[in-house]
């Protein structure tokens, strides 16, 4: 793909079109579409400038993964809301999902302990955990606020606070896993995900690309399931 003025124009048109549609449809996210597009451009430009150094040095690789984790936790906390508690809930949920899965992949040798392998895999897993945590947290809190009367009814019949909250929030919050489940079920039929295409473009065989994509998808399911579980438990344990 040529990098130049044409790319900039097309990206600008797409961003303005998305924002315009959101504004015309009164979706309330028109400005966010523009700011997200600009941030993506700036951040990717910055990452492109430093990625070679990051991938060559283990310390920088670990620091970069740590930065990804912190940004993901802050982003999920902002989406969930509820002040300081949202930060530690998001941080704990993302860590609980990513840490064991990434450790298994590295310890097994399936993902080589090299920056060029670890950074993209860690980024995919952290991104998935962030999205799952955001969705589960918002849905759990929305459900508890909307159905607070049912929560109080549960307390009235003798349920503990955590148990009463779980009865209300868990089914709705668990739908945060729907995107990951649908992506896994339809892979190869509806979409060819980025890991598959990237490995193919890198010169690997279709079988190797499929194996890596399968590892990523099932790893993501494990990560997001753990993140959702921790999010629901944390919110329901503290809910009052």
Per-residue pLDDT reduced to its tens digit, 94-138:
999 999 999 999 999 888 888 888 888 999 999 999 999 999 999
Question: pLDDT digit string (tens) for 187-225?
Answer: 777 666 666 666 656 666 777 777 788 888 899 999 999
Give the pLDDT of residue 225: 94
Q: Are 180 and 221 in contact (CB under 8 A)?
A: yes
**Across residues 234-240, what is the average pLDDT?**
83
Identify the burial level of 4 via C-beta atoms within 10 angstroms of its C-beta, where 0-12 means exposed, 13-18 middle and 19 or more buried: exposed
Residue 84 has pLDDT above 70, yes or no: no
Phi, psi angles (nearest 5°) of residue 7: -60, -45
Listed in sequence order, the residues at least 6 apart from 122 whose beta carbon sits closer than 8 Å to its beta carbon are 65, 68, 98, 102
Q: Tell me the average pLDDT of the chain.
A: 85
For the chain, the straight-line distance linking the first and the last C-alpha, in angstroms and rounded, comes to 54
For residue 230, the model assigns a pLDDT of: 94
């Amino acid at each position: 793909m040529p990098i130049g003025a044409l790319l900039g124009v097309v990206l600008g048109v797409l961003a303005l079109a998305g924002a315009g549609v959101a504004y015309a449809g009164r979706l309330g996210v028109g400005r966010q579409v523009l700011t997200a597009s600009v941030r993506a451009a700036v951040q990717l430009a910055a990452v492109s400038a430093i990625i070679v150094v990051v991938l060559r040095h283990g310390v920088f690789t670990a620091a970069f993964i740590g930065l990804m984790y912190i940004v993901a936790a802050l982003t999920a906390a902002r989406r969930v809301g509820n002040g300081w508690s949202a930060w530690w809930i998001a941080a704990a949920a993302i860590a609980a999902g990513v840490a064991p899965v990434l450790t298994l992949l590295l310890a097994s040798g399936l993902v080589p302990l090299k920056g060029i392998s670890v950074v993209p895999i860690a980024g995919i897993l952290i991104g998935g955990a962030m999205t799952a945590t955001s969705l589960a947290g918002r849905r759990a809190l929305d459900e508890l606020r909307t159905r607070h009367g049912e929560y109080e009814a549960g307390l009235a019949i003798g349920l503990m606070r955590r148990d009463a909250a779980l009865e209300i929030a868990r089914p709705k919050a668990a739908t945060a896993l729907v995107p990951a489940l649908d992506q896994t079920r339809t892979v190869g039929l509806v979409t060819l995900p980025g890991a598959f295409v990237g490995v193919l473009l890198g010169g690997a065989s279709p079988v190797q690309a499929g194996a890596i994509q399968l590892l990523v998808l099932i790893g993501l399911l494990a990560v997001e399931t753990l993140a959702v579980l921790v999010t629901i438990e944390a919110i329901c344990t503290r809910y009052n």
